[in-house]
Amino acid sequence: MALRLKADTLTAIKHPAIRRKLAETLDCTDQSISRYIKDNEENGELTKAAALKVIREELNCDDSEILEEERTAAQI
């Protein structure tokens, strides 16, 4: 199963305070977080458990509100 953040979630986490918390949690730079948001890769850094925990807490949402599933070729 391939997971990716929803467009609304990406917009919300562009807030500098949330980006800083994500950078601290993922032990990377703010610029890396900006790149992760821009790329929104399937099963990428922003879909790691630690990142999702920060996003859920900051946005007060559950996974169904912040994630979308991508169907892989094997699932079709």
Q: What pLDDT score was predicted for residue 69?
A: 85
pLDDT at 59 over 60: yes
pLDDT at 70 over 90: no
SS3 labels along the chain? CEEEECHHHHHHCCCHHHHHHHHHHHCCCHHHHHHHHHHCCCCCHHHCHHHHHHHHHHHCCCHHHHEEEECCHHHC
Residues 2-49 have pLDDT tens digits of 999 999 999 999 999 999 999 999 999 999 999 999 999 999 999 999
Q: State the average pLDDT over residues 49-65.
A: 96
Query: What's the CATH fold of domain 2-75?
Result: 434 Repressor (Amino-terminal Domain) (1.10.260)
